[in-house]
A and B are shown apart, each in its own frame.
Chain A
Amino acid sequence: MSKLIINRRGLLRTMGAGAAATLASPMFFTRGAWAQNFCNDPTASGKIVFGFNVPQTGSYAEEGLDQLKGYELAVKHINGEGDGGLLNTLKPLSLKGNGVLGQKVAFVSGDTQTNTDAARDGARRMIERDGAIMVTGSVTSGEAIAVQSLCQERGVIYMAGLTHSNDTTGKDKRRYGFRHFFNAYQSGVAIAPHLAEAYGRDRRAYHLTADYTWGWTQEESIKNATEALGWETVATVRTPLGLGDYSQYLTPVLNSGADVLILNHYGHDMVNSLPQAVQFGLRDRQANGKNFEIVVPMFSELMAVGAGEAVKGIIGTSNWHWALEDEGTKAFTKSYGEAYGAPPSQSAHTGYVQAILYADAVERAGSFYPPEVIKALEGHEFDGMGNGPTLYRDSDHQCFKEVLVVRGNDAPTSKFDVLNVIGRSARDEVTYDPAIFGGELGPYEPNQC
């Protein structure tokens, strides 16, 4: 048996070797040492820039401009200005109201023109020229999918705005893309029982559908949901995005044998198509011995205001509504109302929530390094943002929460009182197997920008 003998010379030699080994160790053993290895690292550039890429012109401009207001309010609250909004109700919360990781957040904004190519160009400018560490915003799924794909290529996290296509977190999902907004499948599940209750199970539906990814997946989801009720689909007709005059598409509905018109339109498209359908007398008609009905499976307060009288009694679904009674909704409605003099739309809410959730994830990760932030968002459970307990599912980056069923208010008490919440589908009811929509998230490791 040998005996361990430590003498002075041996001790000095061991200590010296240890010190040399420590100094020579690669920097990746220390936290934050990945600073040089990802796009637009704020610790290297000295500034945290969020890129708000929303439609400010085109068919969905109104929703985009409201979303931008939500983002601007979120930045104020993250930086410790104002009343703090949803930072007072979000649980768990890591943000401290002093920016992100102790540094104030700045932002740049751009106009996607409700156009996929312009959205992608805008996001690229934000990443390459403005140094955005995170890009967010959209009102069409075409924009969201294009920007999400770009952000995956550049290694920049994308927090989607309004995008309702199943493809965004389905076949086109990306590791760097996250969606808080609900999707067409969830709309179908939520709205079907209410359609059966209001209009019965023996109906013949005619779809007019915006001709791009969102319209296609919504048409498919609503068609599946209504056919499961026993409804028959008479026709599915595609309409160009941004069309103003729908007369040539509405005239054939009159003699189609349908007794329900389903408008898979959003934004200005719906604001034009729904009143025009009413002007054509569709809601005054009888078909197949029943009252002719119109359904808009997904709509918002802004669209309801735009459509005016025509929206009364129309059933649809919504991601969120300012009149909900939970503390998060009250806090956000108060902050937003004081800032802008109107209640927030679901578009403003989505933008606001996505910016806060990203900032909070960075704070929890203790780093801007995208793979760490992604892991902080994946599987994250939170509450207090106005939608009840919510999960950011790790397998597809889709948020799961309640879905609201709304109806145009027949007797509004103010100009803001345009929608009534008539039902809520619980989170479990609208949860589905991610495999049904396919897709691959892709790698965590970021590319260089």
Chain B
Amino acid sequence: MNAFLAQLLNGLDKGGAYALIALGLTLVFGTLGVVNFAHGALFMLGCFMAVTFRYLITIEKVTTDPTQLSPWGQPLEVRAPIVQDWLGDFGLFLVDYSVPFSILLTIPVMLAIGIGMERGLIKHFYKRTHAEQILVTFGLAIVIGEIVKSIYGPNPWPQPIPSDLRSAADIGRWLGMEPNTLTYPWWRMIYLMFSLGVIAAVFAFLRFTTFGMVVRAGMADREAVGLLGINIDKRFTVVFGLAAVVAGVAGAMYTPLLPPNYQIGMDFLVLSFVVVVVGGMGSLPGAVLAGFLLGILQSFASMTEVKSLIPGIDQVIIYLVAVVILLVRPRGLMGRRGVMEG
């Protein structure tokens, strides 16, 4: 039972990341009809927003202490973050909690990048075939990756979990079990809650705001909304920016779990496309459902007992499920009839 619950939690936190990326992909496809292969690059840029934020707030003031010597016999360099000088204890708190605080940088920058990307490149490909859209966005992803590589180098940038959250939550005790029988890292729990919160916020935005209502109407019948005198293109541009923000914050908060490098976006993109296809192209609930479902399936497939029965199953389970879904129900679990069918 404990092993089952632990794997379930594992699947949920991984599924949270898949669901967030897939949600952005589906938003863009559902509104603009664009298959955006650069969406993984947006996740990667979000990761590097966290890296950049930490880099900036940990810029140090270097002094030498002549009373102490380094191991090689020179006066010891004493380094302290400049923000500590400026803000005192709050500066140290900021450094410790750099990842969650980096969201404040990530949201506006990713919104600007998303809008800029849509206005500068994507809009020129609305009327082109999906194959052409995939080619151009895939090329864009490579360009973004190489730019990041040239700035940050090819190696991963580990980001720390805030010191208060480095331990594990005793979930077993919450469920009435013996202490320490079922534990799960606090940060992973927080990431799961964060994913659910972002997903809920996106759905609420689309469901309960006028802006969201217009977007949903545009997704259903773009021409009709245009004939009502509403500039739907402008709203879809904002939706693209919103998708970039969702991918960006998903990436920023994920950095303590997986140190990012310039390739991290591609690793997630492929899985997220499978998630979108399984969930149903253009279906937001489908993307979320499939994200969590595939995360959980992958987690259970990685259990030692399962792998001893079918070696390597954890590496292919997601693709096997995708093949079965596409054969049995080509439009995905919750896809609209006619989309990607036939």
Interface flag for A443 (CB, 8 Å): no
* Inter-chain contact A279/B167, CB cutoff 8 Å: yes
Contact (Cβ within 8 A) B2 A255? yes
The reply to whether B259 and A281 contact each other, CB–CB distance below 8 Å, is no
Interface residues on A, range: 35 or more
- In the complex, the answer to whether B6 meets A255 with C-beta atoms within 8 Å is yes
**Stretch with Cβ within 8 A of A (4 or more), from B86-94, B102-110, B127-135, B153-161:** B153-161
When distances are taken between beta carbons in the complex, the residues of chain A under 8 Å from B63 are none
Given contacts A235-B304, A252-B303, A252-B304, contact A281 B74 (CB under 8 A): no
- Whether the Cβ atoms of A249 and B302 lie closer than 8 Å is yes
A338 and B72 within 8 A (CB): yes
Query: Are B74 and A280 in contact (CB-based, < 8 A)?
Result: no
Task: Decide if B71 touches A337 in the complex (CB within 8 Å).
Answer: yes
Inter-chain contact A336/B180, CB cutoff 8 Å: no
From residue A248, how far is it (CB to closest CB) to chain B in Å?
4
Q: Which residue of B lies closest to A340 (CB)?
A: B72
Whether the pair A284, B167 counts as a contact (CB closer than 8 A) is: yes
The yes or no answer to A285 lying at the interface (CB within 8 A) is yes
- Contact of B158 with A271 in the complex, beta carbons under 8 Å: yes
A352 at the interface (CB under 8 A from B): no
A313 at the interface (CB under 8 A from B): no
Residues of B within 8 A of A322 (CB): 71
Q: Which residues of B contact A279 (CB under 8 A)?
A: 161, 166-168, 185-188
Tell me which residues from 184 to 229 in chain A have a Cβ below 8 Å from any Cβ of chain B.
Answer: none
- A281 adjacent to B183 (CB under 8 Å): yes
Chain B residues 109 to 125 lying within 8 A of chain A, measured CB to CB, are none
Q: How far is the CB of B58 from chain A (nearest CB, A)?
A: 13
Given A252-B304, A333-B72, A268:B156 Cβ within 8 A: yes
In the complex formed, the residue of B with least CB distance to A287 is B180
B321 at the interface (CB under 8 A from A): no
Q: Are A61 and B155 in contact (CB under 8 A)?
A: yes
For window 276-320 of chain B, which residues contact chain A by CB distance below 8 Å? Answer: 298-299, 302-304, 314
Contact indicator B161/A254 (Cβ below 8 Å): no
Are B314 and A248 in contact (CB-based, < 8 A)? yes
Chain A interface secondary structure, helix, strand, loop or mixed?
helix
Asked whether A381 is an interface residue with its Cβ less than 8 Å from the other chain, the reply is no
Query: How many A-B contacts at CB < 8 Å in the complex?
Result: 105
Stretch at the interface among B7-15, B140-148, B238-246: B7-15
Whose C-beta in chain A lies nearest to the C-beta of B183? A281
Q: How large is the interface on B (under 10, 10 to 19, 20 to 34, 35 or more residues)?
A: 35 or more
Chain B residues with Cβ below 8 Å from A251 are 3, 6-7, 10, 299
B258 at the interface (CB under 8 A from A): yes
A337-B3 contact given A247-B14, A252-B304, A272-B259, CB 8 Å threshold: no
Task: Check if B73 is an interface residue, CB within 8 A of chain A.
Answer: yes
A383 at the interface (CB under 8 A from B): no
Residues of B within 8 A of A281 (CB): 167-168, 170, 180, 183-185
The interface residues of chain B lying within 8 Å CB-to-CB of A256 are 304
B76 within 8 A of A: yes
Cβ contacts under 8 Å, A278 to chain B: 166
- How many angstroms between the C-alpha atoms of A247 and B298 in the bound complex? 12
Q: A247-B10, A337-B70 are in contact. Are A252 and B158 (CB under 8 A)?
A: no
Rounded to whole Å, the gap between the CB of A389 and the closest CB of chain B is 24
Decide: A245 and B257 in contact? CB cutoff 8 A.
Answer: yes
With contacts A244-B156, A248-B302, A337-B71 known, what are 15 further pairs, Cβ within 8 A? A56-B154, A237-B304, A245-B14, A247-B13, A251-B7, A276-B185, A281-B170, A281-B180, A281-B185, A284-B168, A309-B163, A334-B72, A337-B73, A343-B72, A416-B71
The contact sample of 8 A-B pairs, CB cut-off 8 A, is: A61-B154, A62-B155, A244-B257, A252-B3, A268-B259, A272-B259, A279-B187, A284-B168
Chain A contact residues, CB within 8 Å of chain B: 56-58, 61-62, 235, 237, 244-245, 247-249, 251-252, 254-256, 268, 271-272, 275-276, 278-281, 284-286, 306, 308-309, 322-323, 333-338, 341, 343, 414, 416
Lowest 9 CB-CB distances: which A-B pairs, in order?
A337-B72, A281-B168, A281-B183, A248-B302, A279-B185, A244-B258, A57-B154, A255-B3, A251-B6
